[in-house]
Structure 1
Amino acid sequence: MTVMWKIIHLDEVNSTNDYAKSIAEESPEGTVVIAKRQTAGKGRKGRSWASPQGGLWMSVILKPERTDPRLVFVGALAVVDTLADFGIRGWIKWPNDVWVEGKKIAGVLTEGKAEKFVVMGIGLNVNNEIPADLRETATSMRAILGKRLEFNEVTNRVLAHLGRWYKLFQEEPLNVIEAVKERTLLINREVTVIHSDGEISGTAVDILEDGSLLIDTGEVRVRVVYGDVSVRPGRYG
Structure 2
Amino acid sequence: MKKRFKTYYFDSLESTNDTAKELVNKTDREFVISTYNQIKGKGKGDRVWHTAAGSGLAISFLVKNPNLKIISAYTSIAAIAVTKLLQGYGIESRIKWPNDILISGKKICGILCESSILSGAPSHVVVGIGLNVNQNPTDFPEEIKDISTSMSIVLNKQIDLKEVEQSLVEIFTEVLENFETDPNYYYDELLQKSIIIGKRCRVLENGLCSTVLIHSVEIDNSLIIVDDKGMRRIYSADILEII
The residue type equivalent to 1:33 in the other structure is: I
Q: CA deviation at 1:218?
A: 6.2
Match in the other structure for 2:79:
76
1:89 maps to 92
| Unmatched runs of 5 consecutive residues or more in structure 1 | none
Q: Kindly indicate whether residue 204 of structure 2 is the aligned counterpart of residue 165 of structure 1.
A: no
Is 1:232 the counterpart of 2:239 in the alignment? no
Asked if the contact 1:168/1:175 (under 8 Å) is kept, the reply is: yes
CA distance in 2 between counterparts of 1:105 and 1:198 reads 28
Q: Residues 87 and 159 (structure 1 numbering): CA distance in 2 closer, same or farther, change over 3 Å?
A: same
C-alpha separation in 2, matches of 1:39 and 1:209? 32
- The corresponding residue for 2:161 is 151
The aligned residue for residue 109 of structure 2 is: 106
Q: Structure 2: give runs of 5+ residues left out of the alignment.
A: none
CA contact (8 A) 1:59 1:121 kept: yes
Matched to 1:40, the amino acid is K
1:30 deviates by 3.4
Change in Cα spacing, 1:25 to 1:177, as seen in structure 2 (3 Å) is: farther
Q: Quick one: which amino acid aligns to residue 182 of structure 1? A: Q
Q: What is the TM-score with the length of structure 1 in the denominator?
A: 0.91
Amino acid at match of 1:128: Q
Fraction of identical pairs, as percent: 28
- Under a length normalisation based on structure 2, what TM-score does the superposition of the two structures give? 0.88
Partner of 1:50: 50
Distance (Å, rounded) in 2 between the aligned partners of 1:190 and 1:218: 13
Please give the residue correspondences for 1:27-66 in structure 2 after superposition, counting only pairs within 5 Å.
27-53=27-53, 54-66=55-67
Rounded Cα–Cα distance in structure 1 between residues aligned with 2:3 and 2:111: 19
Distance 1:3 1:46, change over 3 A: farther
Alignment partner, residue 19 of structure 2: 19
Whether the 8 Å CA contact 1:3–1:29 is kept in 2: the answer is no
Q: How many residues align?
A: 233
Provide the C-alpha distance between the structure 2 equivalents of 1:132 and 1:117, rounded to a whole number of angstroms.
33
Q: How does 1:110-121 map to 2 (within 5 A)?
A: 110-114=113-117, 115-121=122-128
Q: Cα 1:179–1:25, aligned 2, differ >3 Å: closer, same or farther?
A: farther
Distance 1:19 1:78 in 2: 22
**Structure-1 separation of matches of 2:226 and 2:66:** 34
Two-structure CA RMSD over aligned residues (Å) = 2.0
Between 1:74-83 and 1:21-30, the stretch displaced more is 21-30
Alpha carbons of structure 1 residues 209 and 32: separation in structure 2 relative to 1, 3 Å: closer
Q: Which residue of 2 aligns with 1:127?
A: 134
Q: Which amino acid aligns with 1:178?
A: D
What's the secondary structure of 1:161's corresponding residue? helix
State the distance in 1 between where 2:29 and 2:81 align: 18
Deviation of 1:16 (Å): 0.7
Seen in structure 2, the aligned counterparts of structure 1 residues 105 and 32 have a Cα distance that, compared at 3 Å, is same
Which residue in the other structure is 1:185 paired with?
195
